Amino acid sequence: MNFLETARPYVLSIFRIVVGLLFACHGAAKLFGVLGGEAVPVGVWPQWYAGIIEFVGGGLVLLGLATRIAALVCSGEMAYAYFVVHQPKALWPLQNEGELAAVYSWSFLLIAVLGPGIWALDTLLGRARKRAPARN
């Protein structure tokens, strides 16, 4: 079990990278009509704004930059999508087609709570700040 504990920051980083990449692709499909998606016209509520959050927030999470804040915003967006778009259709996610929104929401909440892992710009910038000499 010691190996699992040692692997935690690396696995967390890989999880964050994969979730961020998939989410950014979801936003790119909405904004630019790529990857089999259909572009949403600029300013259409809430799809276009969701696309912005997904593309920018997913990219930030992917890079591990402002990770906790970006992940929290992405989690909230997916919770909103679940309760406003999916939940009124039926009670259970399998019935209302909200599984993806629920999984994204909980995944981003996990990233917000646990942090970005070892392979993140936040981590690298934090190390650089610790090494920098204090200025008076």
Contact yes or no for 39/33 (Cβ under 8 A): yes
pLDDT, tens only, 2-24: 988 999 999 999 999 999 999 99
Closest CA relative to residue 72, chosen from 106, 107, 32, 112: 112
pTM: 0.90
In terms of Cβ atoms closer than 10 Å to its own Cβ (0-12, 13-18, 19+), residue 59 is middle
pLDDT at 134 exceeding the cut of 90: no
| Residue 38: pLDDT over 60 | yes
